[in-house]
Amino acid sequence: YPYQQSYAQRALKQTNSTAKLLLETMERKKSNLAVSVDVTKTKDFLAIIDVVGPFVCLIKTHIDILEDFKHDLIQHLQDLSVKHDFLIFEDRKFADIGNTVALQYSSGVHKIASWSHITNAHPVPGPSIIAGLSSVGLPLGRGLLLLAEMSTKGSLATGSYTENAVRMARAHRDFVIGFIAQRRMDGVGATAEDAVEDEDFLILTPGVGLDTKGDAMGQQYRTPKEVVLDSGCDVIIVGRGIYGNDPTLIDAIAASAKRYMAEGWAAYLERLSS
């Protein structure tokens, strides 16, 4: 299967330039770690990104969480992305009609498409959401992930919903590079006519923690080994497992990023040799 090949080999076959760049970055930095920087102050946000930057392939943002957002923050974020060699993923979870999501993606306060290499969407509106987002993102060379599954207890994104999400992605391979999911999706929901032998969707997986099994609001954690080795996922997304409840403990944050990077990469090497 394609996912048992190295990230470098898989990069060669990607048609979307962002998917290719992410896989190349993972190989170059020997990291399949994405850090989700869910903090409310710009100062903490940039300090965390600067300190975890060397250990990640990707930084995931919720830009609307920042209470002191000013547009010059974007330039700082982009500078850090160049300094540390990582991509940016705004976790916007679009979920509206095509026309609305195109406006939300291109415009408003945050102008996400202008700086975020990757964003994501819920498949719930159907293929029109991809049409809307790709009208903005494709000319800029961006990539989209669909939320095929979620990490939370009681998630409704299961069964035929997940299968239909994969079918939607399969029909838009120029822009949809993969999924937010808990396992591999290659071949899911395919019929005999679909040529899926070489299918290679990127799987980015949140709900990753080494020290706890969940939080008080339905989040569920698995270890990097369970995610990358047992479930075949490509990128581990870690938030509070790295920065805890105190975004100012910068040395501890650097040490945990290093730890998750090492665990994620070891699980990947074990997958390659199994």
For the annotated binding site for substrate, the residues are 38, 60, 151, 219, 239-240
Nearer Cβ to ligand S5P (27/38): 38
198 is known as an active-site residue: no
Q: How far is CA 145 from the centre of its chain?
A: 7
91 is known as an active-site residue: yes
Contact between 236 and 55 under an 8 Å Cβ cutoff? The reply is no
Q: Is the four-CA dihedral 122, 4, 207, 143 of positive or negative sign?
A: negative
Nearer Cβ to ligand S5P (130/146): 146
Nearer Cβ to ligand S5P (23/242): 242
Four-point Cα dihedral 196, 169, 115, 93, nearest 10: -140
Nearer Cβ to ligand S5P (25/120): 120
Q: Which position among 30, 240, 258, 259 is part of the footprint of ligand S5P (CB under 6 A)?
A: 240
Q: HSE on the CB side for 247, CA within 13 Å? A: 17
Type of residue at 11: A
**Residue 64: what are its φ and ψ, rounded to 5°?**
-80, -5
Our finding on whether 91 is near ligand S5P (CB under 6 A) is yes
- Number of neighbours of residue 142 by Cβ within 10 angstroms: 23
111 is known as an active-site residue: no
Nearer Cβ to ligand S5P (91/234): 91
Instruction: Single out the segment in contact with ligand S5P by CB under 6 A; choices: 3-11, 24-32, 127-135, 233-241.
Output: 233-241
Our finding on whether 264 is near ligand S5P (CB under 6 A) is no
Scan for tokens 């719930």, then name that residue: 124
Our finding on whether 180 is near ligand S5P (CB under 6 A) is yes
Q: 30, 93, 111, 258: which one is catalytic?
A: 93
Scan for tokens 């665990």, then name that residue: 263
x/- contact string, 11-50, with ligand S5P (CB under 6 A)? -------------------------x-x------------
Question: Hey, which residues between 182 and 221 contact ligand S5P (CB under 6 A)?
Answer: 206-207, 219
Gap between the Cα atoms of 28 and 268, Å rounded? 14
DSSP code per residue over 34-58: EEE---S-HHHHHHHHHHHGGG-SE
Question: Hey, which residues between 241 and 260 contact ligand S5P (CB under 6 A)?
Answer: 241
Closest CA to 143 of 162, 167, 123, 116: 116
**Binding residues vs ligand S5P (CB under 6 A):** 36, 38, 62, 91, 150-151, 180, 206-207, 219, 237-241
Positions annotated as catalytic residues are 91, 93, 96
